[in-house]
Amino acid sequence: MPPLDIPTYGIVSLGGVTVGLSLAAWDVSRWFASHKKRLALKALRDLAPFLLCMAYGALLILSAGGIIGAAADWSLWGTNTVGEVVLVYGVGGTSPDVTRTSQLALTPGGHAVVIIVTVVFAAVASRRGFRLDFVRGVLSGVSLGLASSIAGAVGYVLAPVVSTAGDYVAGLL
């Protein structure tokens, strides 16, 4: 077996994307299995918390730094490591770098939105207690936020929207 080549911070490997997509597949398949008889628009509300947590995770990995950005980087490193171990030792594959070439960055208003969303996330989590589906959603978003493929599309969409909204509300535009 080849030695593991664990990527550094801010870089997502195929292993990290595999973990992110696996976490998303877990929740979406469980949601689908429990709603296949009544698959309607109302059934999507049960999937909404996971999707919102996934979007929040993608915003976290787009943060420039600080404590929250460091926690997201550490989480990305963990998902890259787990994914690489599974790919290399589980199926004998490799785990190349799949980070997008053009980095998205949040503006100061976008960073303010990340802080506000973090407060909302903490308030909801403290009210409902520790929920593993929230953790899976955030880790999935962190793992997919920097990917160059369709898996990373959430970062392309969220970064400009959140930055523009934050700058507009804060009066920076």
Q: Would you state the pLDDT for residue 20? A: 93
Average pLDDT over residues 131-146: 89
Chain segment 3-27, per-residue pLDDT in tens: 555 444 578 889 999 999 999 999 9
The dihedrals phi and psi of 13, each to the nearest 5 degrees, come to -100, 170
In a domain, 7, yes or no: no
In a domain, 2, yes or no: no
In a domain, 8, yes or no: no
Q: Are the CB atoms for 47 and 27 separated by under 8 Å?
A: yes
Q: Kindly tell me if the per-residue pLDDT of 76 is higher than 70.
A: yes
Q: Would you state the pLDDT for residue 86? A: 93
* Count: domains in the chain: 1
In a domain, 6, yes or no: no
Chain segment 34-61, per-residue pLDDT in tens: 877 776 677 788 888 899 999 999 999 8
Domain containing residue 71: 14-34+45-170
As a whole number of angstroms, the distance between CA 55 and CA 147 comes to: 14
In a domain, 39, yes or no: no
Chain segment 90-124, per-residue pLDDT in tens: 998 888 888 877 767 788 888 999 999 999 999 98
As a whole number of angstroms, the distance between CA 19 and CA 81 comes to: 10
Is the pTM higher than 0.75? The answer reads yes
In a domain, 5, yes or no: no
Q: Would you state the pLDDT for residue 6? A: 45
**Taking the alpha carbons of 38, 42, 48, 51 in that order, is the dihedral positive or negative?**
positive
Average pLDDT, the chain: 84
Q: Kindly tell me if the per-residue pLDDT of 1 is higher than 60.
A: no
In a domain, 69, yes or no: yes
In a domain, 76, yes or no: yes
- Name, in order, each residue with C-beta under 8 angstroms of 172's C-beta and a sequence gap of 6 or more: 107, 108, 109, 166
